[in-house]
């Protein structure tokens, strides 16, 4: 049986790296094994790089689903399950349904559950105001079964599945002589127990007579009606009541709105529909699923009780690095190993932040603390994340705790750290078929300080020649990309894992002076890069130096 509780999503930062993806998968595993109901699901906020794809494939794990935006959607609203109706039902039946369900709008659906139109209480009310059109019943092509249902009638002669399609409705309250002047071919005549009036209506070519008060209908009238193909209906109500009710038998199709319908998809963001709802001021709006089938109705009041997405964040706590619309979500937990950033929460959250080289190291500790067995495939993911973030223990961010965790995880996964790292980095360095944009944003993070915004991308490789080729493509692209996400400066780290150094590319604003202040190196005249021996970590070496330089 499907779990009725809401899902909680575990998600890393935009442009996810191996740690971000693997930690999301592992933390979802931890929560699902320690909570009463398994409702946690790993997600990703961006495209996965080649290194991470290799790791997921190697340890036979599925790629987390893509969630680029956590803003609330129509599916997060309280969509009311107002049942749809056929376009042939009577106005009376529609009105009764609305009163019983306490709704003001009914959706009209076809046999495939696709929306054909809408009818509101106002539409039904307005139908009664056109009292002078006595041909409305035939113009609406009213089914006789609707008439029978509305006047509580019994079909004495005729076929209840036929339709009244031609003629007007009138009441035979006068003598036969007067009726001969008013009854025309195909009219529907409402009358009482007067035999002469019944006979006259049939002889004048009426298509249907409704005999009121439930009076018996003679065999002569029945026979004559059959011969003239005139329908005969018996109703228990008096003439006034039948005349008052008759228009309620018209099908809703004749009055429904079917053109220019404003409808929403279950996946539409509520931010996008708010303005539409406010502008049009309709009472209700229909909702369709991704296949175009009707789901239910929403109104402006449903926006008040909307359920925000619930998230656990891993490997980041900067709003600029978080999934889009993070402000609309409810953050429950944060597990990270970076500096405390700009992300704010509406309520207190569980926040675990440790000065280690990788989020996966923290999660290894959580497994130990909760006495949970780590499955080999999960161990492989966590080991890979540590090797990736610490550059096989070469990064200054690497701690003894990271190394010990990676070695233990490698043992559980049945791999060797050196071999796994070599294969991962080789897979991640395969950039031949990627565009400059794909390379630039593969591992890109945005930072803010003193109202300034700058972005830093990084590529690590074991191939020095490959880095040289990438540089030729990235420098022109950085000029094009500047400001596309609000940054005033762009930097890119071409990190050589083997030689443990980085060539730092820079472009825009005061980027040249920032580099000079941060590393006390003056770029050569006309150059847009500097060589930084021993610098391999964006988090521990580059960003802190930048922050110090920019504050000064």
**Domain tally for the chain?**
4
Q: Is the pLDDT of residue 266 over 50?
A: yes
Looking at the structure, tell me whether residues 358 and 417 fall in a common domain: yes
The parent domain of residue 541 ranges over: 436-551
pLDDT recorded at residue 2: 42
Looking at the structure, tell me whether residues 108 and 154 fall in a common domain: no
Looking at the structure, tell me whether residues 270 and 298 fall in a common domain: yes
Residue 348: inside a domain:
yes
Residue 3: inside a domain:
no
pLDDT recorded at residue 469: 87
Domain end among 209, 233, 249: 249
pLDDT recorded at residue 405: 97
C-alpha to C-alpha distances, 234 to 48, 230, 243, 426, 497, nearest whole angstrom: 73, 13, 14, 88, 94
Looking at the structure, tell me whether residues 46 and 93 fall in a common domain: no
At 73-94, the pLDDT tens digits run: 898 888 889 989 999 999 999 9
Q: What is the CATH number of the domain that holds 202?
A: 3.40.1390.20
Mean pLDDT of the chain: 91
Looking at the structure, tell me whether residues 66 and 79 fall in a common domain: no
pLDDT average, residue stretch 495-513: 91
Q: What is the CATH number of the domain that holds 106?
A: 3.10.580.10
Looking at the structure, tell me whether residues 165 and 87 fall in a common domain: no
Residue 132: inside a domain:
no
Domain end among 234, 249, 264: 249
pLDDT average, residue stretch 324-348: 89
Residue 2: inside a domain:
no
Domain end among 280, 303, 326: 303
Looking at the structure, tell me whether residues 118 and 264 fall in a common domain: yes
pLDDT recorded at residue 3: 46
Looking at the structure, tell me whether residues 338 and 288 fall in a common domain: no
| Contact assessment for residue 295 and residue 266, using Cβ atoms and an 8 Å cutoff | yes
Looking at the structure, tell me whether residues 312 and 416 fall in a common domain: yes
Give 3-state DSSP helix, strand, coil % of the chain, rounded to 5: 40, 20, 40
pLDDT average, residue stretch 424-432: 79
Looking at the structure, tell me whether residues 58 and 106 fall in a common domain: no
At 27-73, the pLDDT tens digits run: 999 999 998 877 999 999 999 988 999 999 999 999 999 999 998 88
Q: Is the pLDDT of residue 1 over 70?
A: no
C-alpha to C-alpha distances, 148 to 110, 154, 163, 234, 236, nearest whole angstrom: 23, 6, 12, 9, 11
Looking at the structure, tell me whether residues 410 and 445 fall in a common domain: no
Residue from 31, 4, 3, 6 nearest 313 by CA: 31
pLDDT average, residue stretch 458-481: 88
Residue 136: inside a domain:
no
Q: Is the pLDDT of residue 289 over 90?
A: yes
Residue 503: inside a domain:
yes
Residue 134: inside a domain:
no
Looking at the structure, tell me whether residues 258 and 123 fall in a common domain: yes
Q: What is the CATH number of the domain that holds 515?
A: 3.10.310.20
145: tokens are 């079964």
């Amino acid at each position: 049986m499907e779990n009725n509780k809401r899902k909680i999503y575990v998600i890393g930062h935009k442009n996810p790296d191996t740690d971000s993806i693997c930690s999301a998968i592992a933390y979802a595993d931890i929560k699902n094994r320690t909570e009463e109901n398994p409702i946690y699901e790993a997600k990703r906020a961006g495209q996965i790089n080649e290194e991470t794809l290799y790791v997921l494939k190697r340890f036979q794990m599925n790629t987390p689903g893509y969630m680029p935006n956590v803003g609330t959607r129509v599916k997060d609203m309280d969509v009311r399950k107002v049942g749809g109706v056929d376009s042939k039902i009577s106005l009376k039946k529609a009105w009764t349904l609305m009163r019983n369900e306490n709704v003001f709008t009914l959706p009209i659906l076809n046999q495939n559950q696709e929306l054909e139109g809408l009818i509101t209480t106002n539409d039904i009310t307005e139908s009664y105001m056109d009292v002078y059109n006595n041909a409305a019943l035939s113009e609406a092509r009213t089914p006789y079964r609707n008439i029978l249902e509305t006047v509580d009638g019994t079909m004495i002669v005729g076929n209840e599945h036929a339709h009244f399609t031609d003629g007007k409705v009138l009441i035979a309250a006068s003598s036969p002589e007067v009726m001969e002047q008013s009854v025309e071919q195909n009219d529907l005549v409402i009358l009482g127990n007067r035999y002469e009036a019944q006979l006259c209506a049939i002889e004048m070519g009426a298509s249907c007579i409704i005999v009121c008060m439930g009076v018996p209908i003679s065999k002569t009238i029945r026979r004559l009606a059959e011969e003239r193909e005139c329908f005969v209906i018996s109703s228990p109500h008096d003439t006034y009541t039948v005349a008052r009710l008759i228009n309620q038998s018209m099908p809703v199709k004749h009055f429904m709105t079917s053109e220019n319908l404003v409808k929403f998809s279950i996946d539409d963001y509520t931010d996008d529909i708010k303005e539409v709802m406010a502008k049009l001021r309709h009472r209700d709006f229909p909702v369709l699923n991704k296949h175009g089938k009707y789901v239910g109705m929403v109104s402006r009041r449903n926006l008040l009780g909307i359920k925000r997405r619930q998230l656990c964040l891993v490997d980041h706590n900067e709003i600029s690095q978080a999934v889009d619309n993070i402000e609309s979500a409810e953050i429950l937990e944060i597990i990270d190993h970076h500096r405390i950033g700009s992300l704010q929460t509406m309520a207190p959250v569980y926040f675990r932040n440790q000065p280690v080289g990788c989020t996966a190291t923290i999660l290894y500790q959580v497994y130990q603390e909760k006495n949970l067995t780590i499955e080999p495939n999960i161990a492989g993911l966590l080991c890979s994340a540590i090797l990736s973030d610490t550059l096989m223990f070469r990064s200054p961010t690497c701690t003894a705790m990271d190394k010990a965790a990676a070695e233990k995880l490698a043992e559980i996964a049945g791999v060797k750290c050196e071999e796994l790292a070599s294969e991962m980095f080789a897979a991640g360095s395969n950039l031949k078929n990627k565009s400059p944009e794909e390379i630039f944003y593969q591992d890109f993070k945005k930072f803010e300080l003193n109202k300034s915004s700058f972005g830093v991308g990084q590529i690590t490789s074991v191939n020095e020649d490959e880095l040289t080729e990438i540089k030729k493509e990235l420098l022109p692209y950085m000029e094009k990309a500047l400001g596309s996400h609000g940054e005033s400066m762009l930097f890119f780290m071409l990190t050589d894992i083997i030689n443990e150094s980085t060539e730092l590319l820079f472009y825009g604003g005061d980027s040249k002076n920032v580099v000079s202040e941060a590393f006390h190196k003056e770029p050569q005249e006309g150059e847009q890069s500097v060589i930084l021996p021993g610098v391999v970590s964006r988090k521990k070496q580059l960003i802190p130096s930048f922050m110090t330089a920019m504050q000064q």
